[in-house]
A and B are shown apart, each in its own frame.
Chain A
Amino acid sequence: MYLSLSDRPASAANRARGRTARPRVARLVVTLGVVSLLTDISSESVSAILPLYLTSVVGLSTVAYGFVDGLYQGVSALVRIAGGWVADKSGRPQQVALAGYGLSMLARVALLFAGGVASISTVISADRIGKGLRTAPRDSMITAASDPAHLGRSFGVHRALDTVGAAIGPLLAFLILWGIPDGYHTVLVVSLGFAVLGVVVLGLFVPRDAGGVRRHEPLHWREALTRPMLRLLLVAGFLALLTVGDGFVYLALLNSTDAAAQWFPVLYVGTNIVYLALAVPLGRLADRVGRTRVLVLGHLPLAGAYLAACVATGLPGALAALGLLGTFYACTDGVLAAVAARTVPDELRTSGIACAQTVVALARMGASIGFGVLWFAIGPQQALVLVAGGLALAVGAGAVVLRIGPSRQQDAT
């Protein structure tokens, strides 16, 4: 008997039901998707203008901002675990999520009045802490509201809505600045409006007990570290160590095609469009063929993106790299939460999700730092090829550890 990750439909009956009459996506999942959409409109409209606003209006040195930005990515990852633990301990993920969304909303208010390096970095860190707090409880509520057989699809729907918000935000900021050339404050005010709407929808339409689990005994951290969870952390963490920042892929494209400089700021849009388009189909595929399998094999498109970025010449190569990068996100982002949620006891679900997301986030930060060294030591092309090769090997090793090879059919029981 193999105790592999129980991320697949438990019974044949379940699967049959899934194939014939697909149940609707739970209303709560859509509601949480709308909350994320509104919040992403808010945060991405600000992100789009923040560097320009800080340098041209506030007069802040971008050097200072870049440093602060990197620092708080780390803080956000650690806060996430705390958020998950509190959500499980209290049995109230909705309230922890509400606190996270609320904190980011308050940060939007403060941003209107912040004027110096210190105040702006405080505001930005508050926003990041809010993001760290809310992510795992939200994913926990998505899991609780979903039919386990269709969890991948639920996360796909949520992430697609989330990405729509991320696309609308910069567009909205552009429209405002198009009408009002120096209308940075208007963007901030409108952004605050969307943040308020997100918090209100969450507070009004997501029940206070959503995702809560009744428990009889005190919780212990250790119980979250089940064997399947440890195996997931090992594999996902190891793969994340070979997941260097997207920025490097964009920089490689910038290096390999001379005329690409003016496209540099729009490259992430291409990635987002592909992510948006594939989030639901790949979530469904994960439900059908096994979520762990899609999670691990989903790193192959990433390896492909690295290869495409260093052999890319002109538009086709660039498009291939962006498409593969978007596919990677669609295979892994929501699916990781879906897999993590099913590897721990229900009453520790939020902690489990937070733990997996934190390990992956920290490993990726480490990967980016280490890769930076490699980038200069052996050259961009060579470094990317090396990492792509490493990823391919790691995917193979991961498939063995998680037992998701072709013989998976026999392992199911």
Chain B
Amino acid sequence: MTTRQRLLVLLVVILVVATGSTAYALAELRRSRDLSSRPPSVPTATQSALTGPRLVFRHTGLDQEYGVVAEVPLSDPGGARTFTGLSCDRVDATATAASCLRTKRGVVTTFQQLDLDADWKQVGQEGLPGIPSRTRLSADGTLAASTSFVAGHSYMTAGFSTATEIHQVGGGRSYGNLEGFALYLHGKRSTPSDRNIWGVTFAPDDDTFYVTVATGGATYLARGDLAKRTLTTIADKVECPSLSPDGTRIAFKEKVDHANGTWWTPAVLDLATMSRTVLTGETRNVDDQIAWLDDDTLLYGLARADEAGVTDVWSLDAKVAAKPQLYVEQAWSPAVIR
């Protein structure tokens, strides 16, 4: 081939590539525009704010409200939803406060944790070092915890880790990254380099909390003490703990052997007897920090297999053979305000 011919071939390839990707981008742009002007397919309410017992969640319908935090009354979870106008990837809320983890897209994407008051007004803000994963408030809304994934960029090969921190809502004291807490593994002080910590749940005393600690390929349930800055493991194989409203049990996801690789099944641990019940009535893969609707019922989000980005919140009685029920459709990150 002569240089002329080569340049000609290159030109043709450039044209084909440019035309093809432009056509694809334009079609996607049209689809995206349609989406962002489409009203929700679920009933919506027009009143400005909801009070009383309610469920707060992230709306995931493919429409103009995608990602926006919404509320429904607990008395009618399938009924009309009220939108707050705030977009979050993960949300938790109590009667007095809310915590929102969100992604800020930019040339380089950054991540934030917002503290909000009962009227969804921002009262504090912190940067997150990675992709939002979990957030939880204490029952009285004074403490907030966040977990984010610090995924290694290809240029920085420290690899993957989680960052979990706790702070007082509204810009008060920060307890910092929980990796800085003293870890007691099986009763012995331990400083493994590969430890990862995620998924905080608070006890009502605003000092005790529970969290997952992973090291050496194993996961543990640890009890944390904010004042003493300690983490003490109390059980094996517990991920993303969630304390029941009466404080007696912990709901979590348990990793089980499965043909499709990583697979989590919801389970409940009784803190008094340390006996665990795996809720095998749920056969799907549950990758969420479970929330308690009441002392007998669990809530968690599941992605739809056939619709990317759309999720639903399911409820499950905390009993062995209980079958999951659809609780709120097009929803994610459920938080119960009692």
Contact = CB atoms under 8 A, between A and B. Distances in A.
Interface of A: 43-44, 47-48, 51-52, 55-59, 61-67, 69-70, 73, 116-118, 166, 170-171, 174, 176-183, 185-186, 189-190, 192-193, 196-197, 200-201, 204-205, 245-248, 250-251, 254, 258-269, 271-272, 364-365, 368, 372-377
Contact of B127 (A55, A261, A267): A261
B45 interface: no
B42 interface: no
B194 A117 contact: no
B261 A272 contact: no
B152 interface: yes
Interface string B110-137: 1110000000000000111111010000
A329 to B, nearest CB: 9
Given A117-B261, A177-B105, A193-B18, A47 B153 contact: yes
Interface string B188-200: 0001111100000
Contact of B112 (A67, A174, A262): A262
Given A51-B149, A55-B131, A200 B10 contact: yes
B158 A368 contact: yes
A247 B25 CA distance: 34
Contact of A189 (B21, B35, B150, B152): B21
Interface centre among A63, A177, A251 (most CB of B within 10 A): A63
Nearest to A131: B154
Interface string B1-45: 100001001100110011011001100110010011000000000
A373 B193 contact: yes
B130 to A, nearest CB: 7
Contact of A186 (B24, B109, B110): B24
Contacts of B131: 51-52, 55, 62
Contacts of A186: 21, 24-25, 28
Contacts of B36: 181
Interface centre among B18, B193, B262 (most CB of A within 10 A): B193
Nearest to B177: A255
Contacts of A180: 25, 28-29, 32
Given A43-B154, A59-B308, A365-B157, 5 more contacts: A66-B149, A190-B21, A190-B25, A372-B193, A372-B194
Contacts of B108: 48, 170, 174, 265-266, 269
A266 to B, nearest CB: 4
Contacts of B6: 204-205
Contacts of B312: none
A396 to B, nearest CB: 27
Given A62-B149, A377-B191, A174 B157 contact: no
B110 to A, nearest CB: 5
Contact of B159 (A66, A176, A182, A192): A66
A262 B158 contact: no
Contacts of B193: 372-377
Taking residues whose C-beta sits less than 8 angstroms from the other chain, chain B's interface range is: 35 or more
Nearest to B32: A180
A200 B29 CA distance: 28
Interface of B: 1, 6, 9-10, 13-14, 17-18, 20-21, 24-25, 28-29, 32, 35-36, 89, 103, 105-112, 126-131, 133, 149-161, 174, 191-195, 260-262, 287, 303, 308-309
A70 B159 contact: yes
A170 B191 contact: no
A117 B149 CA distance: 17
Given A62-B149, A174-B106, A268 B309 contact: no
B192 A376 contact: yes
Nearest to B103: A52
Given A64-B262, A200-B9, A193 B17 contact: yes
Contact of B309 (A57, A266, A373): A57
B157 A73 contact: yes
A56 B309 contact: yes
A189 B25 contact: yes
B231 to A, nearest CB: 14
23 contacts: A51-B130, A52-B109, A55-B131, A55-B149, A63-B149, A63-B160, A64-B262, A69-B151, A117-B262, A178-B105, A181-B105, A200-B9, A205-B6, A245-B159, A264-B129, A265-B110, A265-B111, A265-B129, A266-B110, A269-B108, A272-B155, A373-B193, A376-B195
A250 B156 contact: yes
A261 B191 contact: no
Contacts of B103: 52
Q: Which 9 residue pairs are nearest across A and B when measured between Cβ atoms?
A: A66-B160, A247-B158, A262-B127, A261-B127, A372-B193, A247-B156, A193-B17, A246-B156, A62-B149
Contacts of A57: 308-309
A200 B7 CA distance: 11
Contacts of B21: 186, 189-190, 192-193
Given A178-B105, A376-B191, A246 B158 contact: yes
A61 B131 CA distance: 11
